[in-house]
Chain A
């Protein structure tokens, strides 16, 4: 077998193709792993776009079989369950968090990266130390504080406690450090105020880092399960994650295909984001990993 493969390899290499055992094996493994990685997601789509109630022995859901039934399920979820509302909540939660993290973080990063002022070093040290504190320790007291503020079941309760992102600050500082001091001096000589320099010089120059941070924050907020679960337990403020949890709860009397339709709707925004911003996401993660 391997001998004949190498022979084919020798013959075809001339044509620019490499069919050695090693290469064939490599491709086989890569394709199998792709199936393992992607199939559960594809399977979710197949279950949604299939005629409901047909047993798996007849239709094993290996490919989508009925477009109209899938659309019908999605329509049903949007009209007969609180899903649409949860979608609004999750989108508002994500957008407000992104806006807050970027504004608050970039203002502080601008100062930490480019200027000297009293208290800079201790403040920076404390924020960086906080990166090492596990979120488990702050979770309960942070919840109790939010409750004391009367913010349970409110949008500010969801958003505000998560805005001071030490990771975001660190990432923006790393990036803003490379802004040349001369540009800031030049702007100052032109009569720009401190805030104008931040707005018109520093922010435009950090566009790349801001976009990457925005994407990572979106992924994280959209997928945040534990904080909405405790802070916004009222159905009025259910996020997509909580609604998916409800669909999924045992004895919820919802069939698999409807649950999968709910899952698919929750997966769409991050999947679309990933397809659009693939490079930025991968670079952002690689950057936080190799520099951190």
Chain B
């Protein structure tokens, strides 16, 4: 079946496919096997069936992490997209130099590595001497322990994440805005639509595919949030998640089980559980979109 003339083609594809098979396909298969075993990387593997999965689901940390994740996603994703949508409209309303200027300014946080954004904000949140508490001080307000008070921790994280990701989504939405034909707006204006009505009856429906992409992508990456909460809390395998685990998230929990407690079987199982959640949520969103189209 493979003829001589195909050999050059296959040789060219080989490096990519070999690396892909070794570092992507093999880990998925081996991970699935690990997930059914009790294993700490040095002793013999012991088959435990679904034991790892059951232990994770029954654990308090898992429930806490999932609860945090749910709250986090429900706030971060809609808020983040609303903010980036408004930023995009704002940038789009300027012309020439100023349009580029504001676009670059709003995009700046995206350029910073995530680990840096987290460390900068950690200091902004510092009690007493941090920037935010200094500003609060000017107004005679008391210093708040943003990252150590369970009532503010989650919101502090959300603020950082919206700050970091708004510019990214803005750029994608801006590209979508440019594709909306100008005469749609003219027609709306002739019909006597206000600016607000234009946004709701022309812009948002026309942007539907882009907004769907941004939402889906946002949900998928939010489900795997790690860097920011890790760096805003203890940032080590012996101390993470913050006070009362108020900033514990599934990927952190997985990493802690793997590298903190050396339970690699459980950690692998955790990865598959999380993937199952991601697949279900994504499939749900696509089903919802189909329904939206039919209606």
Contacts and interface: CB of A to CB of B under 8 A. Distances in A.
B174 interface: yes
A259 B123 contact: yes
Interface string A90-117: 0000000000000111011011100101
Interface residues of A, number: 91
B23 A140 contact: no
A196 to B, nearest CB: 11
Given A118-B1, A223-B116, 7 more contacts: A37-B109, A164-B19, A193-B8, A195-B8, A195-B12, A266-B115, A286-B175
Contacts of B120: 40-41, 43-44, 260, 263
Interface string A57-100: 00011000000000000000000000000000000000000000
The dominant DSSP class at the B interface is: helix
B34 interface: yes
A249 B240 CA distance: 11
Nearest to A103: B15
Contacts of B217: 289
A217 B128 CA distance: 39
Contact of B87 (A33, A104, A142, A278): A33
Contacts of B282: 132
A265 to B, nearest CB: 10
B141 interface: no
20 contacts: A40-B131, A43-B124, A117-B6, A117-B9, A133-B275, A134-B278, A141-B271, A145-B22, A163-B19, A166-B20, A195-B8, A249-B235, A256-B123, A263-B116, A270-B113, A271-B111, A274-B107, A274-B111, A289-B175, A290-B213
Contacts of B36: none
A3 interface: no
Interface of B: 1-2, 6, 8-10, 12-13, 15-17, 19-20, 22-28, 30-31, 34, 41, 87, 90, 93-94, 102-109, 111-117, 119-124, 126, 129, 131, 134, 163, 167-168, 171-172, 174-176, 179, 210, 213-214, 217, 220, 223-224, 226-227, 230-231, 234-236, 250-251, 254-255, 258-259, 264, 267-268, 271-272, 274-275, 278-279, 282
Given A127-B20, A135-B224, A226-B227, A145 B26 contact: yes
Contacts of B116: 223, 244, 263, 266-267
B171 A134 contact: no
B13 A263 contact: no
A160 interface: yes
A256 B131 CA distance: 12
A40 B121 contact: yes
B275 A285 contact: no
Given A33-B90, A43-B131, A145-B23, A136 B254 contact: yes
A121 to B, nearest CB: 12
A40 B176 CA distance: 29
A219 interface: yes
Contacts of B114: 223, 225
A137 interface: yes
Contacts of A117: 6, 9-10, 13
A286 B174 contact: yes
Contact of B106 (A34, A133, A160, A287): A34
Contact of A270 (B41, B112, B258): B112
B19 A160 contact: yes
Q: Which has the most chain A C-beta neighbours within 10 Å: B8, B20, B175, B234?
A: B20
B209 to A, nearest CB: 8
A55 B271 CA distance: 46
B15 A108 contact: yes
A50 B226 CA distance: 33
B113 A225 contact: yes
B220 to A, nearest CB: 7
Nearest to A226: B226
A7 interface: no
